[in-house]
Structure 1
């Protein structure tokens, strides 16, 4: 490599990471406790050139190198005290990934050299002198230029939003009409067959499991498994390369561009609560070696990470420069990649202050005032495993929240658990106990009956118990309280009668989801009757267990059910109401048409009627969780607008016959 000299007059600390300006690249890295920072450049043969960053202000080390262009590989070595008992774990023998790297090459190879201590001893107070560079991904200088062809954010109103949670790889691996070389990539995700399918079922936003670069866990590799879901982030800016057909990040931009032209938003599931480095016994790959004390939370003993995530560490978003990194990452995905929003994994962790969870904390306040981030869709997974971590309903506007109460109460009602009618009415109403406060709208609740974590919807009606033996943990992992019911046979069945019963209940649950106030979210494959063979924790199953199966012909009628429900939501704004205190009135009625009494609320076998009316429209949603029934409708001329189980409802004047476990919607003629 030719001799390189920093241009001191062109150096800047205004932007972090590697910033290419057309003539060269400015490098900037934050480390408040470092004593020296080396920029390490690699040529195509892997030869390393080390240069000390010449400037430091406020803990930001920086320098400008002329003649460094996109494609240049680099990393850092950071010098400072190795004093674990004081929280410092600097080790310049370890090549470190730039937290702001836009692209990475290669994967972490599990070698003892990637640990800052002598891992063979198990003692993190020891110091390891082996060079980790051969085993660590290199960062890439990138050029952000891309012709967006006048792409604009869609800003679909929350009241019109229908979310489809999917895995970039798993969604298309078994889709025959997607070209083989595109399956499992962003190119396949945004292919014509997929966009056509999403249009048919009324999807307005696709929510993707993590696409930021993540680590393949060593313990899974030893078992012949892999980290499939990706909740183990290695870098907050760089994309996961295996989702790219050519390895170039422009593929993501092209996919988002295609989705936007089709009227579909893209939401990313992001993991800013922890990183892939794990506890103090984990590898030194990036943050730990750059400035362990700044980037991670520590308890009373700074030697140990403070863990509220169950992964070994917690990102210290209370530190202003770490918070800046997270916000810069979010803005990068919005401004450079044009994503439309984020779902924050274990979001309670991001709201933790010195006194515990704080809904007015620095992270939420920073996003709410940000002119870019406050405008996109923001969804919280409102819990973590720490004390006081369950915070459903506790997040500030404009955040929306995953509502697991909707999932649990809907499943319990339809499996005829008993005593659930009042709870289901709460969910149909938008869960006002949780969300009707602080001027929050009904769309604060993201309703779902199945998500990536847990049983698929078909498995909810096919298995009483989890079947996770393929995960190699003796079936000890995953939830035990699935609120499921196999309807007579444990596991998948070819019995037409069993299939018909299961179809009936799945249709009823999907109908409940789409007819409730709030934002409906479906799990990819639930419209196909997709099964994971009873595995309710398929995080490590990058195979046909975890992939979406498109060949369930006998259950394809579910697609038509969702299509009809989506059309119904579009035609009747009553089903999209956002305000709890609104002109739209809701009256709860019993099967005789009169308003509910204490007796009818307690009658598990009697249908529940939700009478929704405005000056322009009126609908009645009939929820029959029991056996065949007859319902007397209020006075008026009614017609059937929707039946979850076709040909099981008949209307004779004001008398409606409803089949067992069926949802019906009637409207004024």
Structure 2
């Protein structure tokens, strides 16, 4: 490419900005309008062709002259445009750009929505003709809250390239590795197990997160299907489906229609579609979608004008510049509207400046769809000069979520080595596990809906291979050393995989006793029972192995394809995952989306000795189960755990040998034994859920209660009676109920400084959480706490502001006197004990 240094020196702030939504092609049968933002070009022509051009042996078109060329006109916003009469459907076009130094070259439209094979020319298509039958009625599942989602990360090709996918269905051969494979239902293995789309439906996940399906650079659309493989993180045309996943990449309409059919098929099954998007870099600068049109604008550079490399692959897109930011927002809007995409996962979101992420989140949610899922990787691949990187913590109260690598590492250890985590044998991980289980609200989130919890993804060792690596079993399994998709010892990938045995130690008749199986179930079981948005890697439920290949982005299908015969082979493992997912989907206690709910209902029971146990109390988040106990045992011995004293009969629904909603057996008493490397979930009783008073929807009710508590009129008995009447109205009850009790917590500090101090209470049976000290009487502060009539004991912590400090580190408890409607309790700063006052003598 010619030297455009004089153009690159132009300050980016001087570039004009275009705010319209019509860049690219606007097609109608009677005319087509073309618009391209190219403010530094001296002249631009539209070149039209009636074919895709002449391809060379590498699958590229080198010559673009010879088309019909029409001069375009420029406006003061840097947009060149032209409107051509007539029906140009199925033609192709390029922009012919001329620069100040008389250099001329041809470029595809950066806003292309259809392209020829390998993206060599932009296609003119009638998008309405690409819609499947019934497309106007297609809609994805609606999310009440982001934490209702269960994400399943899947590569289009991995899904169907296994030969077992084609068992008994010869017509499936042509669909393998393509979008079309997702449209087949009723597929079974030789033993009658559902595979393919029906497997996803049976598993119970809510959303399929597809690795990039937008057109990428490195796979030749004309190549044989089994010769080239890539994950797709090398973008070429951002608004066009990938051609190699299409049954006919030479037809621009086919790939669009087939991706829409994939979306429609998943939506019909009640499964949403998340699209992995890669706006942080392009595969090439010179051959990418931007540089040929506006040289020097779309990429970050250092002070010397050199490309910066925060992505680790040679360039990073300058998302903070107005027209780059606009391009990203326009592209996302297009996918959500035209393809009915249900959410977006951002590759290396850290490189996208935070204002851009905030804006696109707000605009997509307000203008396109309110429940779009938006999340991404809060890290970079290298050093970047961008000062507003979207790292962990920047998402607080911004409406989007980020991957929680803190929790990931706490659970499994490092990504590719022998380093261990809680589920793989490490010590001293209990505190980090608790932070993850609580939705990272004591780590980096404002709400649990901001964390995506996971153990493994497409990057690095998958879960099974990671655990084998920690256990130093790779040699026993005869795993090769991999380098750029091939074994280092010279064997073919097919030979190496055939000679490896990832399951050499398994007793397949007793799967759930195996150490590696148990550790894998524990790891993802922690993800599925923690607060936040759970994310699992496709095939974990089938004990997927890649034979130790930790970076399989260019490896062959024999490494990457999901092996569908493993479903019958490891059916108890699949059933366990299915049960955990069903448990989560059935019980909102695991899906709290607000910090207040988590703080109100979650209580730590144990956090030591390779054990983490917590309770979800008092119908958490409106759950039908009263108290739920979750226990993680990461030790190599069984552990006996104390259960909450409120109940003496517990229903076990998850243990080392099974998971689900149904009671497996009951535990009587206040202790339970949990098997090594396993988890347990128990609940005490099931009954209609009580109303929670700590949700946004109940702000008015909470305000009414606070006003009652602050009122000087009436006795405490009257206030308590009014509170229970309010609760009955919300529950639709008419029966008489014993009135609530009131505890007056009287707090005395020697320094008489009470500003910022408040009390956090739990176990009240009414309204747990934050309670203000509202009265000052003779140098003391008073907090009034409402307690349900059946409660015998409550817990409390006196704290400064929002956990800036605690008056006493230990949790404290008050035993309720059933004979008193109003109890007065005096606590002195720094002392754990309290004094029960016999009468209303606050001076005493």
2:155 paired with 1:167: yes
2:335 paired with 1:369: no
The verdict on how the C-alpha distance between 1:542 and 1:270 changes in structure 2, with shifts beyond 3 A counting, is farther
Q: How many Å apart are 1:645 and its aligned residue? A: 2.9
Does structure 2 conserve the Cα–Cα contact (< 8 Å) formed by 1:206 and 1:266?
Answer: yes
Task: Give distance in 1, aligned partners of 2:503 and 2:327.
Answer: 50
2:493 paired with 1:469: no
Does structure 2 conserve the Cα–Cα contact (< 8 Å) formed by 1:649 and 1:657?
Answer: no
1:163-205 deviations in Å (ceiling 9; x for gaps): 0000111111112357222121222124324332112221111
Q: How many Å apart are 1:227 and its aligned residue? A: 5.3
Q: How many Å apart are 1:48 and its aligned residue? A: 2.9
Task: Give distance in 1, aligned partners of 2:147 and 2:485.
Answer: 42
2:390 paired with 1:407: no
The verdict on how the C-alpha distance between 1:267 and 1:603 changes in structure 2, with shifts beyond 3 A counting, is same
1:109-147 deviations in Å (ceiling 9; x for gaps): xxxxxxxxxxxxxxxxxxxxxxxxxxx711111112135
Tell me the equivalent position of 1:100: 111
Task: Give distance in 2, aligned partners of 1:23 and 1:403.
Answer: 51
Does structure 1 conserve the Cα–Cα contact (< 8 Å) formed by 2:160 and 2:181?
Answer: yes
The verdict on how the C-alpha distance between 1:227 and 1:301 changes in structure 2, with shifts beyond 3 A counting, is farther
SS at match of 1:235: strand
SS at match of 2:127: coil
The verdict on how the C-alpha distance between 1:445 and 1:45 changes in structure 2, with shifts beyond 3 A counting, is closer
Task: Give distance in 2, aligned partners of 1:14 and 1:203.
Answer: 35
Q: How many Å apart are 1:382 and its aligned residue? A: 0.8
Tell me the equivalent position of 1:151: 138
Task: Give distance in 2, aligned partners of 1:602 and 1:32.
Answer: 63
Q: TM-score, normalised by structure 2?
A: 0.64
Q: How many Å apart are 1:363 and its aligned residue? A: 4.6
Does structure 2 conserve the Cα–Cα contact (< 8 Å) formed by 1:574 and 1:614?
Answer: no
**1:3-402 correspondence runs (5 A):** 15-44=22-51, 46=53, 48-57=66-75, 58-81=77-100, 91-93=103-105, 95-107=106-118, 137-145=120-128, 146=131, 147-156=134-143, 157-174=145-162, 175-177=165-167, 179-192=172-185, 193=187, 194-216=196-218, 226=228, 228-247=230-249, 248=254, 249-278=256-285, 283-302=286-305, 304-351=306-353, 359=354, 361-370=355-364, 371-372=366-367, 375=370, 376-384=372-380, 385-387=382-384, 391-396=391-396, 397-402=398-403
SS at match of 1:408: helix
1:524-552 deviations in Å (ceiling 9; x for gaps): 11111111111111111242112222222
Task: Give distance in 2, aligned partners of 1:290 and 1:393.
Answer: 36
SS at match of 2:159: helix
SS at match of 1:172: coil
Task: Give distance in 1, aligned partners of 2:681 and 2:632.
Answer: 9
The verdict on how the C-alpha distance between 1:26 and 1:542 changes in structure 2, with shifts beyond 3 A counting, is farther
Does structure 2 conserve the Cα–Cα contact (< 8 Å) formed by 1:317 and 1:363?
Answer: no
Tell me the equivalent position of 2:465: 459
Does structure 1 conserve the Cα–Cα contact (< 8 Å) formed by 2:219 and 2:230?
Answer: no
Structure 1 gaps of 5+ residues are 1-11, 83-89, 108-135, 352-358, 476-489, 591-600
Task: Give distance in 1, aligned partners of 2:443 and 2:674.
Answer: 32
Task: Give distance in 2, aligned partners of 1:373 and 1:270.
Answer: 18
Task: Give distance in 1, aligned partners of 2:52 and 2:147.
Answer: 54
Does structure 1 conserve the Cα–Cα contact (< 8 Å) formed by 2:282 and 2:288?
Answer: no
2:585 paired with 1:570: yes
SS at match of 2:314: coil
Task: Give distance in 1, aligned partners of 2:70 and 2:315.
Answer: 30
Q: How many Å apart are 1:491 and its aligned residue? A: 6.8
Does structure 1 conserve the Cα–Cα contact (< 8 Å) formed by 2:21 and 2:330?
Answer: no
SS at match of 2:434: helix
Q: How many Å apart are 1:369 and its aligned residue? A: 3.5
Q: How many Å apart are 1:14 and its aligned residue? A: 5.9
Tell me the equivalent position of 2:518: 504
Task: Give distance in 2, aligned partners of 1:611 and 1:363.
Answer: 35
Q: 2:545 aligns with which of 501, 508, 531?
A: 531
1:322-348 deviations in Å (ceiling 9; x for gaps): 222221111110111110110011112
Tell me the equivalent position of 1:633: 643
1:584-636 deviations in Å (ceiling 9; x for gaps): 4222223xxxxxxxxxx4433xx332111124521101111111222332331
The verdict on how the C-alpha distance between 1:469 and 1:91 changes in structure 2, with shifts beyond 3 A counting, is farther
The verdict on how the C-alpha distance between 1:474 and 1:545 changes in structure 2, with shifts beyond 3 A counting, is closer
Task: Give distance in 1, aligned partners of 2:542 and 2:149.
Answer: 21
Structure 2 gaps of 5+ residues are 1-18, 54-64, 188-195, 413-420, 489-499, 686-844
Task: Give distance in 2, aligned partners of 1:383 and 1:514.
Answer: 24
Tell me the equivalent position of 1:487: none
Q: How many Å apart are 1:572 and its aligned residue? A: 2.0
Does structure 1 conserve the Cα–Cα contact (< 8 Å) formed by 2:211 and 2:275?
Answer: yes
User: What is the total number of aligned residue pairs between the two structures?
Assistant: 576
SS at match of 1:74: strand
1:285-311 deviations in Å (ceiling 9; x for gaps): 532111122222222233x22322112
Does structure 2 conserve the Cα–Cα contact (< 8 Å) formed by 1:642 and 1:664?
Answer: yes
Task: Give distance in 2, aligned partners of 1:428 and 1:419.
Answer: 16
Tell me the equivalent position of 2:618: 614
The verdict on how the C-alpha distance between 1:199 and 1:189 changes in structure 2, with shifts beyond 3 A counting, is same
SS at match of 2:265: helix
Does structure 1 conserve the Cα–Cα contact (< 8 Å) formed by 2:361 and 2:374?
Answer: no
Q: TM-score, normalised by structure 1?
A: 0.80
Task: Give distance in 2, aligned partners of 1:507 and 1:15.
Answer: 50
Task: Give distance in 1, aligned partners of 2:627 and 2:71.
Answer: 68
Whichever of the two has the greater Rg, that structure is 2
